[in-house]
Chains A and B, each alone.
Chain A
Amino acid sequence: MAKEKKGVRLEHISKIYLDPKTKKEFYAVKDTTLDIEPGTFVTLLGPSGCGKTTTLRMIAGFESPDEGEIYLGGEPINELTPNKRDTAMVFQSYALLPHYNIYDNVAYGLKLRKMSPEVIKEKVTNILKLVGLEGMESRMTNQLSGGQQQRVALARALVIEPGVLLFDEPLSNLDAKLRVTMRTEIRRIQQEAGITAVYVTHDQSEAMAISDQIIIMNKGVVAQMGTPQEIYYHPNSEFVADFIGEANFLKGTITAKNETNGTADVYGNTVELHDIADRSVGDECTLVLRPEAALVADEGQLPCDVILSTFMGSYQNYHVMVGDTLVKITDFNPKNKKIYAVGDKAFVKFDPDSVHVI
């Protein structure tokens, strides 16, 4: 549908703000370089204050970068005002125009582009069909549910066929169930429209479900960029591992190594590791172990004391101590397994391929 998919490139972008309380300047975004491929769905993910919304608003043109240049489809756009940029944004608060009905809301951008009424009617009708709102043209915005308002906001942004679609935490005002439905919808519509999308959220499961690429931001800088799988299985830092999903961190020292595999000493136990080509013997390292990738068993790599054991229905939730490190383990489908009680001595067991070393 989009006339031309456009990529976005941020080149050494920084944004400096003045803290109104301390009167000190600080980097909201610092020296960020990003390449967003045309037609992909890219999510900016991070805790609040990490600079993700600022980055998005710089692409839209509401904020101006202090360093660097932003390119849209290869063209530098730093000097363009928001109304001259080939972007369309879906706002957190939907920001529908309350004095217009749905039809006029969606047609607003088209009217500004001086299209003929027939063309506008056709485009609006098509787009409302795409978002599942046909027949509701004459409703006022306050007669819609949150999910429907969200669809109008999406339709309004899509109908002007922007080079890039921008989303600023669009689902955070919806209830949990609707959030799941809407994110699937957004993904479907983006794929059908074949449009480049940049999506800001702080919800990691939303990011995982919806994105081709995830960009994790922390304190104004990009911590990691990759597919959801790369980010989840190969986090490059404790921050990323902890932010995406749950993770246990075990400190160790590399004791032996061949080409790719080797062993590490963790609290006096030898643990087999795979895929550590860039490490050498004697290196300090951190083992990232996902709770669902480990089991509590009678034998395994690391001896442990069970300090919490809770039945959660679909899984048994354990907290165990390995040395002085707390390790959380979720043992799925525990019905026919041995259940360990608090005070039991046992072992943490895992597949060497499930451990990621950082």
Chain B
Amino acid sequence: MARSQSKELERKKFFADPIMVTTIVVLIVFLTLFILYPLAILLIDSVITGEGISLSVFQRVMGMPSFRRAITNTLKVGFLVGILSALIGLLFAYVEEYVQLKTKMLAGLFKVISMLPVVSPPFVLSLSMIMLFGKAGIITRYLLHIYDNNVYGFWGIAIVQTLTFFPVCYMMMKGLLRNIDPSLEEAARDMGASRLKVFNTVTLPLILPGLGNAFLVTFIESIADFANPMIIGGSYDTLATSIYLQITGAYDKQGASAMAVVLLAITLMMFIVQKYYLEAKSTATLTGKASRQRMMITDKSVTRPLTAFCLLVSLFVVMMYICVPLGALFKTWGYDFHLTFKWFQMVFTRYKGFKAFKDSFLLSLIASPITALLSMIISYLVVKRSFRAKGFIEAVSMLAMAVPGTVLGVGYIRGFSAGVFRSGFLQSLYGTGTLLVIVFIVRSLPTGTRSGISALRQIDKSIEESAYDMGADSFRVFMTVTLPLIKDGFLSGLVTAFVRSITAISAIILLVTPKFLLITVQINEFAEKGSYGIACAFATILIIITYGSVTLMNLFIKHFGTSREIKEV
């Protein structure tokens, strides 16, 4: 038996569609040049030295005690943050799905909590942590009268990262718990198991792979995080900050490349376990839809402690976020609590605030539609078409998810500052806004692609086939059928890409040139200098921008969305 004729025919049919062929070729070039190549050059750079191929650079960096310490630091923080986030996330999800809430307030709080990390720059919690619990912290200094509290270091990073990342776990666990058929637990209750027993023997085993999945996702996020350790780490270096300092402080680009390879290897390993083992397992055990409403727990001995805990955590997080605009309004944080607009004024007068917002806004605005469109095209190709390079496109766009921004930044420096393979080709790209836009795109592409894929999987394949059958070519099918059907997904992809771009820092900070002022870089700079008023003023305006765009999107989808119509078909 041979399937050669059908393969040959499929090939001919494929090449009869020039727009699709061009799209795929462009995609492959883009993914190779801006994701694969920068990573490859890191590996190449760190093994090829003056005297040929050797591991001497690795030996050198591994010989640095500070780097070895950074590895253990990173893993320690990641492990703790992963566990804490997964557990707190699970608790929140459990309370939302299982516990009868007395007031609407907590439900509202939960919504805010799940929204905050999306709209805020990833490191504002570090800022507020310092302002609340640092040496001049309101809580430590004025409420508790502790004058030498040290928030910097392991615990600072761990707490801030946990508070930043647990909402992601909460959303993941919520989805899983919702898919548990209540009759499974009721059957166990019916046979005489206590609530605790039911949780331990039914609920927990069902969600265990999902919990592991949430743990690993957070672990990766924590390891890749740059800004929080940068601001609140103090002398406690992690891999991401070590790499940054190796470049900006020690000017050792080759050493930084080797370090980046080490960081990439760690995240990649985790990612592979998470993606191909846990993710499949966690959804495989829970495919059933809940057959009916769950009987909520009303037992006060259960509801009270659980809701109290969630309420405390939520209020704490909200307080941390409120601290940011307050910090921008007080004259001198920690000493002079008179209200003032001087920080906001200074942002725009002395610190070129307009230029910073214009640059950030413009670059993100250019990047987001390209990202949204690219991720929809990739999702369309992955879900609806079959061709030989499909595996490559899918794998590389998913791979980008596992690449920490710092690693990508170093890769771009090594890969483009002297042109591709030091040939001078594309060297003119280096230092331009175009390259920054490309970084924004690459950084948001995986999220967009992932949501695009799940949106497209919901659409019956025959709808597109019917359009194809009526005489539309691939391009027309995509424009007149696919895109309109996932309009909502496209819009939210657009806004997510925008928000991610305008709040991005890790890769950007390594690549930005004085020509461009970016808000996040400014915030980072002023926070490091200890000018919290200015940093807070920048951050407040940034949060307003991102929150505004998300709200606008939701309003837009509510009024012009298509999802309702599609679901009913």
Contacts and interface: CB of A to CB of B under 8 A. Distances in A.
B51 interface: no
Contact of A99 (B2, B16, B484): B484
A83 B473 contact: yes
Contact of A66 (B3, B462, B484): B3
A178 interface: no
Interface in B448-475: 460, 462-463, 465-473
Contacts, number: 111
A122 interface: no
Interface string B542-569: 0000000000000000000010011011
A15 interface: yes
Of the candidates B3, B17, B569, the one having the most CB atoms from chain A within 10 angstroms of its own CB is B569
A233 interface: no
A74 B470 CA distance: 21
Interface in A87-142: 87-89, 91-93, 95-99, 108-109, 112-113, 140-142
A156 B470 contact: yes
Given A66-B3, A93-B460, A88 B470 contact: yes
Contacts of B565: 98-99, 140, 142
Given A81-B16, A89-B469, A108-B470, A98 B6 contact: no
Max count, chain A CB within 10 A of own CB: residue among B2, B13, B485, B562? B13
A327 interface: no
B1 A25 contact: yes
Contacts of B12: 79
Nearest to A60: B469
Contacts of B7: 64
Given A98-B569, A140-B565, A88 B469 contact: yes
The dominant DSSP class at the B interface is helix
Contacts of B463: 93, 95-98
Interface string B5-21: 11101101100110000
Contacts of B197: none
A93 B464 CA distance: 12
A83 B466 contact: no
Contacts of B1: 16, 25, 27, 66
A66 B4 contact: yes
A311 interface: no
B6 A66 contact: yes
B476 interface: yes
A83 B471 contact: yes
B6 A15 contact: yes
A61 to B, nearest CB: 8
A140 B562 CA distance: 12
A112 B472 CA distance: 7
A83 B469 contact: yes
A156 B12 CA distance: 28
B6 A108 contact: no
Interface in B1-47: 1-7, 9-10, 12-13, 16-17
A65 B562 contact: no
Contact of B569 (A66, A82, A142, A156): A142
A95 B472 contact: no
Interface of A: 15-16, 18, 25, 27, 60-67, 78-84, 87-89, 91-93, 95-99, 108-109, 112-113, 140-142, 153, 156, 160
25 contacts: A15-B6, A16-B1, A16-B2, A16-B6, A25-B1, A61-B13, A62-B465, A62-B469, A64-B5, A65-B6, A66-B4, A84-B16, A88-B469, A89-B465, A89-B469, A93-B460, A93-B462, A96-B466, A98-B565, A98-B566, A98-B569, A108-B470, A112-B472, A153-B466, A160-B471
Given A79-B13, A98-B562, 9 more contacts: A65-B6, A82-B468, A83-B469, A98-B463, A99-B484, A99-B566, A109-B471, A113-B471, A156-B466
Name the 5 nearest CB pairs between A and B, nearest first: A64-B9, A109-B470, A95-B466, A95-B462, A64-B6
